[in-house]
Structure 1
């Protein structure tokens, strides 16, 4: 057993209000310079929807993540070394600029310099890449609040199978929830394996995945290999950039910027101990629906004396062991099992997990003519919620509705129990026993999900001073690029653009 530590995150989707504060603060901290105007290390998507970049979840098209070959071995969907070598200078499996959006600025000078006239002057949009006038037709949050649902949401790759016919994008039938996304800092990152120059690396001390800007040659294989499409190309420097998990803050024992500024207090940060020797075996699990259990099996119990002894032998500091013991991420993902990974079928073993949203279950009970105090009626209503179980299962459980249904039933039982206690009752423990919770565990879980304080949500151990020299040697490899000095249109530093533009489509039998 080789014990390693990983900083991980859980997000409670019931609390996300889609305010995009996390996206804005991340943008201002990490991507507020030339070359990454289109890059959102953290973005909030409305589901159902095609996401950002468009249809990034369609791995038949983009070839992201891992798959099993005929011998049951893990292979990159984007191909082996020889296949990547052949596409080194012309990679067909890259999102085009139109799949993101063309970054724009505005001609604000026109507001001041326009001559007097009858019409009000306006600041017209101009492309940051070319400086020419352009039209805004897409963006990172174009579908916010289902704004573009009638035209776009039906193309969501998760809406597949016969069950998708029940989803109707009509005023009284539609549903939505917000899904914040950032780099998953996976245990088995495909981007690291696909990088020809070795620029992508996973830090040994805390598992954060970074890009060495000095080694990066802009081959863009990492963009293809990442199934979440959270690696971006800086079109000014020609190099890859991605979410850094705010490692300078984490090293100081502080939460990430997106977590610190989250209005809904839906994010949890903590440390997980895992057996590095079992990662490959877990990722190669034959049945996709078993990947969740096998990944949880990789995580180690921080209370186990044997695990703690092995961790000490591996060099994990004592205060990190204590942080792992108090980790809210371990509680939500493993101990209580209410947090689930995003698309486990990609086999990257993601380390940003989600508590799935619970629709108003008591309304569903009443609509079906059931008794809200009867656990059987309440549990039965979980299968008839406004957000289809099948859709949530496609996102968080490789299509296994039993997994998602079990989590929602546990959350439903917890709500019913705490609701009765808040109204002065003792709480009916029947529903709790049915989902495997004791009253004490229910109160602890409720405290963590509903009213956890700052110190309980963010348990981030600081880096050790005695490791400063080693960290400095590694972090001299700058993970964030700087644009070159020559300025492009509108005063933005530009290099050779490496974000492809899609060629105009040619109608059948005609010219473009």
Structure 2
């Protein structure tokens, strides 16, 4: 057993407003430069719909993530080294600019500089890449709030699997929001696919980053990522991705998209996991078993043996304390109300989602609270659709989560009305009154410091990492490491 620490996030989709405050915060902070116009490290998708980039979930088209060979070994879906070498100058599994959208602006000067005319002057769309006029056919949030439209629904890869079960009639339409960032996976396929070694996963906190000095722009990381959260900067020729705002995290600040969330749906904390069993967890024959294996390698932060092993592997005391305080661990492993996005990709994502509750269809009548459980299948958002996204098709896991969320609502209603708590409901979902009270505090009225438990980085670790990144002749110089660092900082400022 090798215990390491990892930042892990949970998004409560039951509270997402689709306001895109998270998107704006990220865009203003990280992707407001030339070459990043089309990048959305954070985006909010309306579901059902094609997503961003278009149909990114269709791995028959993109071949992202991992596949399991006949002998039970993991293999990149885009192929091994020889296959990638043959596709060095033509990668058929890359999304094109048309799958995102060609970034554009408007000729606003036309509004003030147009010659006198009987016609109203207009601002025409022009490409930010070529500078030429373009016809708008796609854009950021192009399908926003259009999940009830048949055209948007039919482009959803999850919906295509369920065409016979989900109706597209207007009266049966349903909609939900899905905010997405890089999942900072335990088994990242983007890292394994990079031939230059530029993509790497930080051992101290699990954040997946791209070394811009090493990156050669081969773009295999983009093809290998099944979530399509790595982007190519056409201006610099480098790959870029969400960095989980690690400069903010290292000083105890909250990542921008988490901090600006209006609905307070986001939670971030540290979990401890067994790094020796990552491959085992990703190698389950049945994709439906991957979630159970992931829960097994996420360890109890109060276990003395786990704490001892973690310290031996360099996990500091404040990281262990943060793992004990964060509600993320309880959401994922104790209460089991959160699920990973597409576990069948075998990357072991570390951003999990609480699936949304939805209204019951009109023709279903409920006489009492106790009758909710038998009709979970009759909710507006089909169970099969949620299972296609979060459990590799295992509808029972989704039902169990929805039952727990319903139980929480029933419990709080009964308590406020002074009614006797139905003990049978609690037994049905394996939760206690204490669990439900804490779930309510976390999901409904949690304060900022309760939702985000973030330990700061350690100076000694930063110095060690800096030392390892320098050439040996500089490190071993007579002036010492501290002087080398100060000189480097002066050069950067100049």
For 1:368, the equivalent position in structure 2 comes to 364
Deviation at 1:149, TM superposition (A): 2.9
Matched, 1:98 2:94: no
For 2:437, the equivalent position in structure 1 comes to 443
For 2:399, the equivalent position in structure 1 comes to 405
Q: Which string of whole-angstrom CA distances, capped at 9 and with x for unpartnered residues, describes residues 165-204 of structure 1?
A: 2323333210000000010000000000000000000011
For 2:57, the equivalent position in structure 1 comes to 57
Deviation at 1:212, TM superposition (A): 0.5
For 1:38, the equivalent position in structure 2 comes to 38
For 1:178, the equivalent position in structure 2 comes to 177
Matches within 5 A, 1:416-495: 416-473=410-467
The secondary structure found in structure 1 opposite 2:249 is helix
Matched, 1:302 2:298: no
Deviation at 1:316, TM superposition (A): 0.9
Deviation at 1:380, TM superposition (A): 0.9
CA distance in 1, matches of 2:406, 2:143: 29
Conserved in 1, the CA contact under 8 Å of 2:35 and 2:234? yes
Q: Which string of whole-angstrom CA distances, capped at 9 and with x for unpartnered residues, describes residues 102-124 of structure 1?
A: 00011112122111222221211
CA RMSD of aligned residues (A): 1.6
Conserved in 2, the CA contact under 8 Å of 1:167 and 1:174? no
Deviation at 1:13, TM superposition (A): 0.1
Q: Which string of whole-angstrom CA distances, capped at 9 and with x for unpartnered residues, describes residues 408-442 of structure 1?
A: 01111111011111223342222111100011111
Across the two proteins, how many residue pairs are aligned to each other? 471
Conserved in 2, the CA contact under 8 Å of 1:414 and 1:432? no
CA distance in 2, matches of 1:77, 1:407: 31
Conserved in 2, the CA contact under 8 Å of 1:125 and 1:136? yes
CA distance in 2, matches of 1:101, 1:175: 26
Over 3 Å counting, the alpha-carbon distance change for 1:378 and 1:426 in structure 2 is same
TM-score where L is the length of structure 1: 0.90
Matched, 1:262 2:261: yes
Q: Which string of whole-angstrom CA distances, capped at 9 and with x for unpartnered residues, describes residues 4-55 of structure 1?
A: 0001110000000100110011000000010010010000001111101001
For 1:77, the equivalent position in structure 2 comes to 77
Q: Which string of whole-angstrom CA distances, capped at 9 and with x for unpartnered residues, describes residues 249-273 of structure 1?
A: 1111111100100000000000010
Matches within 5 A, 1:89-488: 89-146=89-146, 149-161=149-161, 163-360=162-359, 363=360, 367-374=363-370, 377-473=371-467
CA distance in 1, matches of 2:443, 2:465: 34
Conserved in 2, the CA contact under 8 Å of 1:191 and 1:222? yes
Deviation at 1:139, TM superposition (A): 1.6
The secondary structure found in structure 2 opposite 1:158 is helix
CA distance in 2, matches of 1:167, 1:466: 56
Q: Which string of whole-angstrom CA distances, capped at 9 and with x for unpartnered residues, describes residues 474-499 of structure 1?
A: 7899xxxxxxxxxxxxxxxxxxxxxx
Structure 2 unmatched ranges of 5 or more? 472-494
CA distance in 2, matches of 1:256, 1:443: 28
The secondary structure found in structure 2 opposite 1:56 is coil
Over 3 Å counting, the alpha-carbon distance change for 1:123 and 1:160 in structure 2 is closer
The secondary structure found in structure 1 opposite 2:398 is helix
The secondary structure found in structure 1 opposite 2:49 is coil
Conserved in 2, the CA contact under 8 Å of 1:142 and 1:148? no
The secondary structure found in structure 2 opposite 1:145 is coil
TM-score where L is the length of structure 2: 0.93
Conserved in 1, the CA contact under 8 Å of 2:147 and 2:153? no
Conserved in 2, the CA contact under 8 Å of 1:417 and 1:429? no
For 1:3, the equivalent position in structure 2 comes to 3
| Stretches of 4+ aligned residues off by more than 4 angstroms | 473-477
CA distance in 1, matches of 2:404, 2:141: 32
CA distance in 1, matches of 2:411, 2:84: 55
Conserved in 1, the CA contact under 8 Å of 2:148 and 2:174? no
CA distance in 1, matches of 2:46, 2:145: 6
